[in-house]
Structure 1
Amino acid sequence: MDYELEYDYMGYPCAKFSMGHEAFGRWFTEELSKDIVLVDKILSSISQIENNTLIEKTFRGKVFELTIEIEQASVRALSLDYDSEEELGDNLELFDQELMSDCGLTDFQEALISWREFIT
Structure 2
Amino acid sequence: MEFEFTRNTLMGEYYVKCSMGHEIVGRWLQEEIGKDRDKIAEVEALIVDSQGKLSSDCRLEGAEISLSIQGDEVTIQENVLDHEMKLEEGSEFDFYNSESTASCGIDDFELLIERWKDFLGY
RMSD of the alignment, in Å? 2.2
Structure 1 residue 114 corresponds to structure 2 residue 115: yes
Q: For each residue in 1:37-90, what CA deviation from the matched residue of structure 2 results, as whole angstroms up to 9, or x when unmatched?
A: 11111112212222449932111111101101211111111122334563142x
Given the two structures, how large is their TM-score scaled by the length of structure 2?
Answer: 0.84
Given the two structures, how large is their TM-score scaled by the length of structure 1?
Answer: 0.85
Equivalent residue number for residue 86 of structure 1: 88
- Stretches of structure 1 that go unaligned for 5 or more consecutive residues are none
Distance 1:99 1:53, change over 3 A: closer
The question of whether the paired residues in 1 share the 8 Å contact of 2:54 and 2:70 is answered with no
Equivalent residue number for residue 39 of structure 2: 38
In 2, Cα distance between the equivalents of 1:39 and 1:53? 23
Equivalent residue number for residue 104 of structure 1: 105
In 2, Cα distance between the equivalents of 1:117 and 1:14? 14
Structure 1 residue 4 corresponds to structure 2 residue 10: no
- Stretches of structure 2 that go unaligned for 5 or more consecutive residues are none
Task: Specify which structure has the bigger relative contact order, considering alpha-carbon pairs within 8 angstroms and separated by 6 or more residues.
Answer: 1
Deviation of 1:10 (Å): 2.5
In percent, how many aligned pairs have the same letter? Answer: 26
The question of whether the paired residues in 1 share the 8 Å contact of 2:54 and 2:71 is answered with no
* Structure 1 segments of 4+ aligned residues over 6 angstroms from their partners: none
